[in-house]
Structure 1
Amino acid sequence: MTISEQPSAAASRAGTWGELLGREHLGAMVVLAGGVALYAINVYVTISLLPSAVADIGGERLYAWNTTVYLLASVASAVLVGKLLAGSGSRQAYLIALGLFGIGTLICAAAPTMPVLLLGRAMQGAGGGLLAGLGYALIRSALPAALWTKASALVSAMWGVGTFVGPALGGAFAEFGSWRGAFISLMVAAALVAVIVPRALAGARAEAQAEPFPLVALLLLASAALVVSVASVIATPLVSVLGVLAGLALIAAFIGYERRARVRVLPAATFRGRSRLRWIYATIAVLSMSSMVEAFIPLFAQRLAGLAPLAAGFLGAALALGWTSGELPSASASRAVTIRRVIIAAPVVVGIGLVLAAVSMRADPGGWLLAVWVGAFLLIGAGTGIAWPHLSALAMSSVSDPLEGQKASAAINTVQLVANAFGAALTGLAVNLGEPDTLLAAHYLFGSFALLGVLGLVAAVLSQRGQD
């Protein structure tokens, strides 16, 4: 298949895992999934290593900026995927992304001070955002449409891999007092992926159109997340309400701007007539936001259940495990009616998991209650996982124009990153409103985020109404 073919025709049958991982496509999948795995592992490695790094080079006051700088750089670079593909082509674009990530990782490994580490984190974020965006954008050009769903599932499953490998890798190096070694190992891994890129992506002829940088749209998105982040730090009821309202207003301003802008972050089809693409992206955004509760699970596990850091970390990994466990089997579904039901059911499952987590939070829980926590976190992850490959494939196949299709694919990652940033700010706000009472903070977090199940259900239902 060529990229100019109609996706619906090429996707008339569902491809198999054997086809996806066979000789013809294995190299491309190693590269695309490997890039996202590097991004995901780096996130969790850094979280594990930061305490050791601060003890060595100082800069505790800048601790939180490690995540902020990384995330903002990722969002900024993610919207450049189309421009990079247009100017450099598939293989060169991927090598540039790996190069940025590798250089940033090297700077982190050699950083003598926290400001230098932040510089490395910014470059890592820029490279990582490109890798994650290319991971979706190149699926469309590197693979036949019949394999898009399974390829999306495999690429997204790398976040589950990162959740397990990241803490284990970071913890091992930190245990032996060599936090810099973890960054060096990531740099070596990036170099190994780069070696196979020229051959693995030889058949990927991504069509993309060079466009100016969407500065206004990006500023609106970043401001929305930053406003809520500031409100979460102050965390008084009035400031919190005003912060959330301001953030929502900025999101609305972004949507309004995108409707009429010449240079967009999202494809033009998102706002055309009765297009369901907008609701596909909305469902992706809500599910992505719900997964951000994962960041506080280890904290609650340590403070409420008295678990050791390692055990608490793996309890937090239950959400990612649920995501991967739900995603891979679901990717094999091919009947249209089954896919519709799965997508609509997904936010319901997420909402049930969040409600279960909210009502089961107790101090000093027994073994049975800890089992309920694990079940709740698995449900939250599984709800997102079962729908993710189908939502990704629908977004990729929503438009027939190759240039718009490339932007639709890359926008999956952009929407996810922005939703993660906004969701992270909201989780901080909910938790800080409950502090210093950790139990109250847990109730606030899981209880308030359960509302996302309702919003997600509305978006999911609308995403399945009619065709473009």
Structure 2
Amino acid sequence: MSTKTGEKQDGIGFRSERGPVLAAIMLCTGLVALDSTIIATAVPSVVGDLGGFSQFPWLFSIYLLTQAVTVPIYGKLADVFGRKPVMFFGIAAFLLGSVLCGVAWSMPVLILCRAIQGIGAGAISPISITMVGDLYSVEERARVQGYLASVWGVSAVVGPTLGGVFSEYVSWRWIFFINLPLGAVAGWTLARRFKERVTRGSHRIDYLGAVLLTAGSSLLILGLLEGGVAWSWGSPVSLLIFAGGAAMMIAFVLVERRAAEPILPLWVFRHRVLTGANLAALGIGTLTIGLSSYVPTYAQGVLGTGALVAGFTLAALSIGWPLAAAVSGRIYMRIGFRDTSLIGGAVTVAGAVLCAVLGQESHIWQVATACLIVGVGLGLTSSPTMVAVQSVVGWERRGVVTATNMFFRSIGSTVGAAVLGAVSNATLSDRFAHPPASIGGDHLPKSVDATSDVLTGQGAGGMGGVSSAVTTFVRGALNDAVHNAFLTTLVVAVLIVGAVLLMPRVRAETGNGTGSEAH
């Protein structure tokens, strides 16, 4: 199979021949990015309308789950049938899920519709990156991926704000309906302007492998997301879920070894560039979810800032990332993918160190600075590793390796959320179990979930019923919990550097050719 896209190298700008396609790809990316953040501020309105407060975390979990497990499948299908039909299916599934979410009449229905959205997002995210790899040369891709990263950065700021505006002044249902015109424009532009020639041959789809991968990874991710929340880690339910997931993944490996055209070929794990880049993506996913989760918690719960200030603090991460990704192309064209990623890894470690030394007396500008440095480091790491992955294989394998890299990043986010949550909750539980004698356990939160109520004065007897001593102690306990979470992210940052060191030096070649290992 072969295809030719973007044959005329006419520049990267939006006025170029490839410009409308890039704009459509950015718009598709924006759909997924906005939907990842816009619902966060709308949760109170959704729960107030539909009920089901105890179920609302599934609005996020099910979306992440269905998106993660479908990514490798779409990558293989894109290599077999071409990028265009897979992208159209993803857009259609995402928009269908959006319509159904907008008319949902109960929380279980809304959760089911979010799963449909996740199935669509699982196609949009990797195929967007794969199309960039098809359209642009090696030296152009970092700048273009910087554009895509900037979409996530803008969405991180605009999404929560837009969700709050819709919820307060219109209806939370419009956070889903807004996807329809955006998706329609993106699909129409791609249909008219994205051209690819696919030489179809005789292919055998690995259906058994796809089923085993989806079911096995779904069980493992489900166990990680809900372990310690819906059930204890050592409960029979938890053990059964992990055992079932592990058994299916073992069966998946055995099936892939015999499959004529495996859905996730095992050679991906034998190539040093791919192995190092995928392990780095695993760490990047963990680090991103860690900072996204705990920087706002630290800023509001420990430093006492408002939600808006906390959001803008985290936005520093989203600003540094696309800026660094855009300039990384000039760097790796001179010194190669691995060395550029190593520089990014070192910067990431420096930023993680700054996060780890934050305390109760720190200033908000110090938090923003740490996030900015981490964002720069991740931008210098993620973009070169992704371009390296795409550059060491031909078109017929580019979809698989791109989807595999993004699959590892999704798994990293899932595992990171579970591990960091366990570290944070264990720290809080330990502190609450050993309070100072002057406070006593009766005045402390009865569960870790009630920590925020005490800090806002709503616990221990209602507004005004929380003594300053209790608030100070709980704030200190939360600081310890976040500190341990930040220490964990520092360890992950160091491991990212180790993963990059596994990669051989690869020269970035000009044109649309592939990179080559330096011997």
TM-score (norm 2): 0.78
Aligned to 2:468: none
Give the alignment partner of residue 119 of structure 1, picking from 109, 112, 116. 112
Q: Does the aligned pair in 1 maintain the 2:63–2:115 contact within 8 Å?
A: yes
**Amino acid in the other structure paired with 2:272:** S
Q: Which residues of 2 match residues 269-418 of structure 1 at below 5 A? A: 269-272=267-270, 275-293=272-290, 294-337=292-335, 339-362=337-360, 365=361, 369-400=363-394, 402-418=395-411
Q: Which residues of 2 match residues 54-133 of structure 1 at below 5 A? A: 54-85=47-78, 89-133=82-126
| C-alpha separation in 1, matches of 2:67 and 2:192 | 27
| C-alpha separation in 2, matches of 1:465 and 1:334 | 11
- Is 1:448 the counterpart of 2:488 in the alignment? yes
Q: Which has the higher mean CA deviation after the structures are superposed, 53-62 or 331-340?
A: 331-340
* Residue deviations 1:368-412 (CA, integer Å, cap 9, x gap): x21111111112222111122211111011123x32233112323
**Amino acid in the other structure paired with 1:282:** L
The structural deviation recorded for 1:439 is: 1.1
3-state SS of the aligned residue for 2:330?
Answer: coil
Give the alignment partner of residue 163 of structure 2, picking from 159, 170, 175. 170
* Residue deviations 1:301-334 (CA, integer Å, cap 9, x gap): 2111222222222222222222123222223334
3-state SS of the aligned residue for 1:464?
Answer: coil
Q: Which has the higher mean CA deviation after the structures are superposed, 74-83 or 117-126?
A: 74-83
| C-alpha separation in 1, matches of 2:218 and 2:310 | 31
| C-alpha separation in 1, matches of 2:174 and 2:218 | 32
- Is 1:42 the counterpart of 2:35 in the alignment? yes
- Is 1:439 the counterpart of 2:437 in the alignment? no
| C-alpha separation in 1, matches of 2:356 and 2:252 | 35
Q: Does the aligned pair in 2 maintain the 1:110–1:180 contact within 8 Å?
A: yes
| C-alpha separation in 2, matches of 1:380 and 1:210 | 43
Q: Does the aligned pair in 2 maintain the 1:357–1:376 contact within 8 Å?
A: yes
| C-alpha separation in 1, matches of 2:320 and 2:268 | 30
- Is 1:462 the counterpart of 2:459 in the alignment? no
Q: Does the aligned pair in 2 maintain the 1:140–1:406 contact within 8 Å?
A: no
Q: Does the aligned pair in 1 maintain the 2:150–2:319 contact within 8 Å?
A: no
Aligned to 1:198: 191
| C-alpha separation in 1, matches of 2:412 and 2:480 | 25
| C-alpha separation in 2, matches of 1:4 and 1:183 | 35
- Is 1:233 the counterpart of 2:233 in the alignment? no
* Residue deviations 1:187-246 (CA, integer Å, cap 9, x gap): 22112212212112124659896622423334443343333334443899999xx99xx7
**Amino acid in the other structure paired with 1:442:** V
| C-alpha separation in 1, matches of 2:265 and 2:399 | 9
- With over 3 angstroms needed to count, the CA separation of the structure-2 counterparts of 1:94 and 1:231, relative to structure 1, is closer
- Is 1:257 the counterpart of 2:250 in the alignment? no
3-state SS of the aligned residue for 1:54?
Answer: helix
Q: Does the aligned pair in 1 maintain the 2:339–2:505 contact within 8 Å?
A: no
| C-alpha separation in 2, matches of 1:318 and 1:283 | 22
| C-alpha separation in 1, matches of 2:105 and 2:131 | 37
Q: Which has the higher mean CA deviation after the structures are superposed, 108-117 or 419-428?
A: 419-428
The structural deviation recorded for 1:57 is: 1.1
| C-alpha separation in 1, matches of 2:200 and 2:218 | 28
Q: Does the aligned pair in 2 maintain the 1:153–1:328 contact within 8 Å?
A: yes
TM-score (norm 1): 0.85
The structural deviation recorded for 1:74 is: 0.5
- With over 3 angstroms needed to count, the CA separation of the structure-2 counterparts of 1:408 and 1:339, relative to structure 1, is closer
* Residue deviations 1:33-59 (CA, integer Å, cap 9, x gap): 221111011110011211211111111
- Please list every run of 5 or more consecutive structure 2 residues that lacks an aligned counterpart in the other structure: 429-447, 449-476, 507-516
| C-alpha separation in 2, matches of 1:142 and 1:264 | 26
3-state SS of the aligned residue for 2:393?
Answer: coil
| C-alpha separation in 2, matches of 1:358 and 1:38 | 33
| C-alpha separation in 2, matches of 1:67 and 1:236 | 20
- With over 3 angstroms needed to count, the CA separation of the structure-2 counterparts of 1:359 and 1:252, relative to structure 1, is farther
Q: Does the aligned pair in 1 maintain the 2:277–2:405 contact within 8 Å?
A: no
Give the alignment partner of residue 24 of structure 1, picking from 17, 38, 43. 17
- With over 3 angstroms needed to count, the CA separation of the structure-2 counterparts of 1:111 and 1:252, relative to structure 1, is closer
| C-alpha separation in 1, matches of 2:227 and 2:116 | 27
Aligned to 2:211: 215
- With over 3 angstroms needed to count, the CA separation of the structure-2 counterparts of 1:206 and 1:411, relative to structure 1, is farther
* Residue deviations 1:159-200 (CA, integer Å, cap 9, x gap): 212212211211211231521122211222112212212112
| C-alpha separation in 2, matches of 1:316 and 1:265 | 37
Q: Which structure's CA Rg is the greater one?
A: 2
**Amino acid in the other structure paired with 2:274:** L
| C-alpha separation in 2, matches of 1:177 and 1:235 | 37
Aligned residues: 447
**Amino acid in the other structure paired with 2:115:** A
The structural deviation recorded for 1:434 is: 2.2
More helix by share: 1
* Residue deviations 1:124-149 (CA, integer Å, cap 9, x gap): 11111110011122223333444333
